[in-house]
Structure 1
Amino acid sequence: MKHLGSPIVALVMTAAAAGACATTWYVAQAFGAGGSPAVLATVVALSVGRRDFAGRAEFARAALVLPLTSVAAAVVGWLLVTVPIVGALVFIGGMSVPIWMRRFGQRIAHLGALAALPLTAMLVVPVSGMPWWLGGMLALIAGVVAVLWVALAREVLALARLRGSTAEPGTSPPSRATPSPAAAPAPATSRAPRRLPASTRMAVQMAVALAAAFVVGWGLFPEHAMWVVLTAFIVNAGNRGRGDVLHRSALRVVGAVAGSLAAVLLALAVPRISGLPAVAVIFAALFVGGWLRAVSYAYWSFAVTLVVSLLQELFGTAPFAGEAGMLIERVAAIVVGGVLGVAAAWLVLPVRSTDVLRKRLSDMLITLGAVFSPAEPAERAARLDAFHAAVDRVEELAPAHRARRMLGGHRAQPIDCITAAAALPAIVRARIAAGPTPPQLRAAVGDARRALAAPVDLERVRTSLLALATMLGPDSAR
């Protein structure tokens, strides 16, 4: 199970977002602009602060990309206000193309994901009431300010680690080497017909979901169309298969309904909340949501919904005083957005959750084989880091499959395979410390990879992973 996130990391990154917001706000006020640049800076700072970077070089590349994409996002926000149809088309492309770009490698995938971040801010508070060139300039400033504040937060966390802090930094993981294909047995092959790459299918799903969300949102919920689009995007972002989308949609709806109810209660208690009290509530909610996000996405959804409600009140896009009257329509818009996102994932070039699991388990086994291949100590350490990162990617799939387990069934399920994989890092560390590598390791890794061949037999996969763990155990070298 996932553990509670680090409160220190959540606090520092929320403080960075608050600093970016305040700095950009004062700059924007000097130009007589509204609050959209400050919102953009906040969203960028929060999003970048949650991401892992393999050292300062990778962060520097992101720092160069984000201010430019912030300018593009400001233009899209301006288009959504002035020429909505054109703005929607550009927005859809901006969200879908980065998903398609994953096929060109991890580095391009990371930059593509960062490029999509500023666009979400434009759904909340689009650029309006100012010339496009001024909006673009302030967006550039917002991106630069956000990156600088996050860089400062990363250094603070790094310094805390040097002083013995056990906080989980979430900032600079060790370098991750990519093992050579020769370092592990060749992957099991299947005679299944060749299909479109998963990244292409997921990009098409996102485009369809967002297009449907704009059409339905404008037609049925003209005052809340943003909620339909935002929900459709959230449930498809980070798509890890059909089951994951369904699970994320349920958590999004639950968290959003709870956040909307909290907004109503806040509106009744403080009918005209504004200024510093509203800002304090916003960043308190972001801190709690960021801290508890590792436990369940529903907490983050709750926090984001409450924050968006407050932002709309502060900038006059949705009066907070009428929150209670609009609650039902807003919740309906969120539910519809979730349904559209799930429908796109399940009906448009679907990606099966078990296929995603097979791919990630295969990657994990490749890195495991590389760990025990001959190498210098530094290279061995890098390969071990890559193995741990691969296991983390397998464990990312656990929440949806754990929920699936609650539906019952006596046969082996994906969560059983994930649990078996999650136990391997501790066993591998113990084996490395114990000394010699078992001679049958290569054969055991090969058996485990062959078990992943389509059509997948989950019982066989689990059994092969358990056998691999036993083989690596302390008694195997005797």
Structure 2
Amino acid sequence: MRWRPSAELVRAIVTMSAVLGSFGTTLALHDIAGFSSTLIILSVVLALTLGRLEGHGSWRSRGARLATLVVVAIAARYVAEVLFHHEAVGGGLLAVGLSAPILLRRLGPVASRLGTLMSLPFIAVLTTPAVAAPAAHDAWWTPVVAVVAYVWAAAATTVAHSLGLLHDVPPAPARRRAGRVLDASTRMAIQMLVSLGVALVIGHLAFDEHWPWVVITAFVVNSGNRGRGDVLTKSVLRVLGALVGTTAATLIAGRVTPGSHASVVAIFVVLAIGTWLRPRGYAYWAGCVTAVLALLYGYYGTGEGSQLEVRLLAIVIGGAIAVAVSWFLLPVRTRDVARRRTADVLAAVQDVLKGRLEGGEPDLSALHAARHHLELVRPTWRLHHRLRRPTTAPAHALDAVLAVADAAADLGPTPHRATLGQAARDLGNVRRLLRDSDHVTGLTPDLVAVATRLREASAQA
């Protein structure tokens, strides 16, 4: 049997190809032009995330993403300069730069991707050690570095797609605007802004030059917020991973000469491992990211083992800040997130059934996209199920929704029409019940019945 690499391994190879290409090009430009090493870090951060985000698209859409990246990179460079000279003002600008892009999620998947791109240069600013001061002529080279990172990421992903090794992640299904004053994206943006603000204040007051560790942890824990239960789950996993990664890397960095090439090699090895393991759990990624930061600080001569206890305490406090804010300030309930994504899946299933009943071949892309985004909240519900006595738990409800989606996707071209029609009517009843319900859990038996009827329609074809 011919061996085929897993999707996670392919994505990691593509991403690291972009990272190493961007790093090598920027390093060569650095030797020629003499700009600061902050731009080298920027190129790595940009390529690392672009390698995951960049996919197929028209030249127009890619041009828009590149233009956005260049403009925001220039703005972030000035924020870095302000942060170096005026920490309070720079910290406030940094918090705004990391929070504002979250608002774009409400405008759909295209705007959401642009928002993610907008946050990348500010993440680079946050992760750059303070001793790596920006140089005066960095402003001229910042857009060049942004273009270099984007070109490498686009080239790596294009080659992988052309070889059939890589497939785009389905975009989030479009939703109608909710009637409430503050939708989930707005509340999450406010939560991020407050979390970073509190982390900045506590970091400067209690940890002096170690304040970035508090802020980075608060940012990482709040990123990709899918409800307060999700934040709590990820905070525990990410803090545990960060503690392990920071401990190991700090002890190693303390035994390596500052500026050593061994530190650079170790950084890229850890980045590759983290990129590969990221889809398998938050703890792996958190551990690798914080290990990279510890190695980076060690490279600049600020990674002594005596600082380990302070960093660990800063990580714990940063995670606690993120959880407290997400839990008590404009909370987004995880059950509401699951309910909304369940509604997306069932709407997509209804469209598939309608297409089959009309004798056509329905497009399954919307169904696959909705299913993928429901899967993202599944780990939180599974943990919820383990912590409660065995009963009709949310984990069972989501399993039933996914079973309905799979049964609809597996329908052949000629399912039994009467059985399929009854399944469509039952599904319509479930969707009406969901609109009037506060939770998806109570619908588990009805969802199981719909999935069973869909499988019967396939079997009777």
Distance in 1 (CA, whole Å) between partners of 2:444 and 2:333 is: 18
Which amino acid is the alignment partner of residue 456 of structure 2? P
Matched, 1:461 2:443: yes
Residue 430 of structure 1 corresponds to which residue in structure 2?
410
Q: Percent identity?
A: 34
Number of residue pairs matched by the alignment: 451
Q: Which residue of 1 aligns with 2:334?
A: 353
Name 1:184's counterpart in structure 2.
none
Q: Deviations over 1:58-116 (max 9, x none)?
A: 44432232122111111111111112222122112112221122222222222112101
How big is the shift at 1:5? 5.2
Stretch deviating more after TM superposition (445-454 or 224-233): 445-454
How do 1:73-88 and structure 2 match up within 5 A? Answer: 73-88=76-91
Q: Which of residues 239, 250, 257 is equivalent to 2:236?
A: 250
TM-score, normalising length: structure 1: 0.87
Which AA in structure 2 matches 1:392? H
From 337, 362, 366, the equivalent of 2:343 is 362
Q: Which residue of 1 aligns with 2:150?
A: 147
Whether 1:213 and 2:199 are equivalent positions in the alignment is yes
1:418 maps to 398
Structure of greater relative contact order (alpha carbons < 8 Å, 6+ residues apart) = 1
The counterpart of 1:42, out of the listed 30, 41, 44, is 44
Instruction: Tell me what 1:307 maps to.
Output: 292
Q: Give the corresponding residue for 1:443.
A: 425
Q: Tell me, what secondary structure is at the counterpart of 1:79?
A: helix
Moved more, 446-455 or 401-410: 446-455
Alpha-carbon spacing, 1:273–1:474, altered in 2? closer, same or farther (3 Å): farther
State how 1:50-129 maps to structure 2 within 5 Å. Answer: 50-51=52-53, 53=55, 55-57=57-59, 58-125=61-128, 129=133
TM-score, length basis structure 2: 0.90
Gaps of 5+ in 2: none
Partner amino acid for 1:432?
G
Contact kept in structure 1, 2:253 and 2:299, CA below 8 Å: no
Equivalent position SS for 1:452: helix
Confirm or deny: 8 A CA contact 1:177 1:385 kept in the other structure: no
Which SS does the other structure have where 2:456 is aligned? coil
Deviations 1:125-145 (A, max 9, x none): 16864455x222222122111
- Can you give the 5+ residue segments of structure 1 that lack an aligned partner in the other structure? 162-166, 182-186
Cα distance in 2 for residues equivalent to 1:282 and 1:95: 24
Deviations 1:326-347 (A, max 9, x none): 1110010011000000011001
Structure 1 residues 299 and 137: CA distance shift in structure 2, 3 A: same
1:201 aligned residue (187, 190, 202): 187
Q: 2:208 aligns with which of 215, 222, 243?
A: 222
Partner Cα distance (2:51, 2:361) in 1: 29
Q: Deviations over 1:384-414 (max 9, x none)?
A: 1111010000000012222222212233222
Q: CA–CA distance in 1 between the matches of 2:17 and 2:423?
A: 47
Alpha carbon RMSD of aligned pairs, Å? 2.8
Seen in structure 2, the aligned counterparts of structure 1 residues 398 and 5 have a Cα distance that, compared at 3 Å, is farther
Map Cα deviations across residues 445-464 of structure 1 (whole Å, 9 max, x no partner).
22222332355344422222
Partner of 1:390: 370
Of stretches 195-204 and 347-356 in structure 1, the one that deviates more from structure 2 is 195-204
Structure 2 CA distance for aligned equivalents of residues 75 and 358 of structure 1: 42
1:264 Cα offset (Å): 3.4
C-alpha spacing 1:289/1:131, structure 2 compared with 1 (3 Å): closer
In the TM superposition, 1:335-346 aligns within 5 A as 335-346=316-327
